[in-house]
Structure 1
Amino acid sequence: MKLFDWLSFGRVSEISPEALNEQLESVQVVDVRTLVEFQQSHIQGAINLPITQFSKKAISELSLDQSIPVVTICLSAHRSIPATRRLKQLGYDVKQLQGGMKAWWNRRFPVVSGK
C-alpha cells in the first residue's frame, strides 16, 4: 500500500447506519477497532481485524467472500478509511459505516458485548 492509502482522511464510499441496519444480513462487517473496543460493543456478526494488523495476509485469513459486500467500521469513520481503500484494492465491494460506531450507538441500533 502507498502512504496515501494509510491516511485517515479523504473520501471513500459510505453506507448510512440506517441502510446498514436494514442490510445487515446481506453484508460482511469488518470492525477495525482494537480488540478491547470491539469486545466492549460491536455489531452482531462483525469480524474484528484492528487496522494496525491490516495486512494482505491477515485479510486473507478472514476468509471474506468477494461476492458479498463488505462494510468497514471504526469508532468515528477515520480508521476505517484506510481499511476501505485496502479492501477495494483487493477487489472487494466495500463501504465504510458513515459516522462509525458513534453514529450506530446514537441511533440505538443493536450491539453485542464480548467475543
Structure 2
Amino acid sequence: MAKSSLWWVPFGGVPEISAEELHGQLNREQAPQILDVRTTLEWKTSRIPGARSAPITSLKSQLDVLALDPARPVVAICLSAHRSIPAVRLLRDAGFDQVCQLRGGMRAWWKAELPVEKGE
C-alpha cells in the first residue's frame, strides 16, 4: 500500500495542526477525522473525543476496516508527534490528500487542557 519502504521512519517533516486549531474545527460540519495511532491502552486511557484507534504497528493492515473518508481531512495523533509522522505518510500514499499530524501530539492537547474521553 505505501509507496516507500521507509514510510514507518518517525522523523521528517509532515503537515501539522495545533491543538487549539484542531479543537476549533471539531464542531464543524466537515470536521477532521481523528486517527489515534497510539497503543490501544493509551487510547483507552485518554483520547480526543471521537478519535478512532489504529495503533501504528497495525495501521497498514487496518486502513480498509477504518473506513476513513478520503474526501475529508484526517489528523493523525500520537503521544508526542513521532508515531503520527509515519501515519501521515502511509495515509498520503493510500490516496488521502488532506492529512496532517497534531503538533506536539496528545501532550500538546493535554497541556492546552482540551476535552478528552476515557474508556472503551
Relative to the length of structure 1, the TM-score reads: 0.95
Aligned residue in 2 for 1:44: 49
* Number of residue pairs aligned between Structure 1 and Structure 2: 114
Q: 1:104 aligns with which of 85, 89, 109?
A: 109
* Greater fraction of residues in helix: 1
CA displacement, residues 57-86 of structure 1 (integer Å, 9 cap, x when unaligned): 411110111111000000000000000000
Unaligned runs of 5+ in 2: none
Unaligned runs of 5+ in 1: none
Residue 34 (structure 2) pairs with residue 29 (structure 1): yes
Instruction: Report the CA distance between 1:3 and its aligned residue.
Output: 3.6
Counterpart mapping for 1:1-115 below 5 A: 1=2, 2-25=4-27, 26-55=31-60, 57-92=61-96, 93-115=98-120
Seq. identity, %? 49
* In structure 2, C-alpha distance between the alignment counterparts of 1:86 and 1:75, rounded to whole Å: 18
- Which amino acid in structure 1 is aligned with residue 23 of structure 2? N
Deviates more, 1:23-32 or 1:71-80: 23-32
Instruction: Report the CA distance between 1:24 and its aligned residue.
Output: 1.4
CA displacement, residues 32-68 of structure 1 (integer Å, 9 cap, x when unaligned): 000000000000000000000011x411110111111
Moved segments of 4+, more than 3 Å: none
